[in-house]
Amino acid sequence: MAASGVKRPPRPAPASSGGMVRKLILALAVFLPALVYQQLQPPPPKICGSPGGPPVTGTRTQLKDGRHLAYLESGVPKDQAKYKIIFVHGFDSCRYDALPISPELAQELGIYQLSFDRPGYAESDPNPASTEKSIALDVEELADNLQLGPKFYLMGFSMGGEIMWSCLKHISHRLAGVAILGPVGNYWWSGLPSNVSWHAWNQQLPQDKWAVWVSHHLPWLTYWWNSQKLFPASSVIAYNPALLSEEDKLIMPKFAFRTYMPQIRQQGEYSCLHRDMTVGFGKWSWSPLELEDPFAGGEGKVHLWHGAEDLIVPVSLSRYLSEKLPWVVYHELPKSGHMFPLADGMADTIVKSLLLGDQPPQA
């Protein structure tokens, strides 16, 4: 009991609930955006040869901007070659995925093939400023660094096939001939009629429609979209078997069980897969439909190959492009899917068509 005449100190007034709520809202307003921003940001790439990064095991050449491209040479020695070909690999691939030209044909025709890791794949440095044009200029600089001469042949598969259009746009003066194999198409290219683009668009699985839509409209969200676990992301990245045609199911073991697969994404998926998507499906300032014949004098040809049963890249865009570009030699393979370049003997057929003008046998 307090002594007589001594007053007790007043109790502190309880904080108003409104003030607490305001403080909580303020804290959340600061914390949540920072948390969301952190989740959306891809981790920094693990650059090959850098501290903590993967080792450099292959042969590389340095570009003018300081980046390195890893490459692989096959076929006959370069100084003995009659035909020099640069091969541009597709999505989730690397320099080891060069077109499997038979050693017999390479020797017979004198073929030298140069394949390389596209930026961010395997052992090539990422290009944070990558565009549809920059990869074409990389191809040209690679050819110069390897001293391939004033002109060379070019082949590209899948996402690498789409890059062929960029090379025809930006470095056509360096090309002796081009083979475009099962190329990815951009549904937003100008000049594509809505019925054509919508038909191709609707051939995709629902999760791929979303993944591609995000890559085009919200590229800053691409990393999060393809790394979150709330709902399905790209089925191509996940190797969904629903994307395989009957022929692809027979061919896929050649592709799916590559011993070097861990190397392909070793610098981080954002630097290779996700950047491929934001560039390939991004906002281009031009369209392949605007291109003119780079070989109007008859000194070379552009060949476009596509499997009619392709469930990964809809054939309808290639059909339309070949109709509107009469200078393109179009080869549609009625029973083939996306992986046709790996079918037995197909690589030799493609190469002989490009170099010699041979017509493939009718199915």
Residues 264, 185: Cα–Cα separation, whole Å: 23
Domain total of the chain: 1
Q: What is the pLDDT of residue 1?
A: 47
Helix ranges, 56-190 (H) = 103-109, 132-145, 159-170
Please report whether residue 255 resides in a domain: yes
Helix 316-324 vs helix 194-201: crossing angle, to nearest 10: 150
Please report whether residue 79 resides in a domain: yes
Inter-residue contact 111 to 75 (CB < 8 Å): yes
pTM for this entry? 0.89
Please report whether residue 281 resides in a domain: yes
Residue numbers of the chain with a pLDDT score lower than 50? 1-2, 32
Q: What is the pLDDT of residue 213?
A: 96
What domain range includes position 70? 58-201+243-354
Q: What is the pLDDT of residue 298?
A: 86
Detail the DSSP E strand segments found in the chain: 59-62, 68-75, 83-88, 111-116, 152-157, 175-181, 302-307, 328-333
Please report whether residue 41 resides in a domain: no
Q: What is the pLDDT of residue 36?
A: 54
Q: CATH number, domain at 303?
A: 3.40.50.1820
Please report whether residue 235 resides in a domain: no
Q: How far is CA 207 from the centre of its chain?
A: 18
Inter-residue contact 245 to 311 (CB < 8 Å): yes
Q: What is the pLDDT of residue 300?
A: 93
- Token readout for 154 is 């070019």
Q: What is the pLDDT of residue 7?
A: 61
Please report whether residue 89 resides in a domain: yes
Please report whether residue 14 resides in a domain: no
246-258 residue pLDDT tens? 999 999 988 888 9
Residues 261, 253: Cα–Cα separation, whole Å: 13
217-248 residue pLDDT tens? 999 999 999 998 888 889 999 889 999 999 99
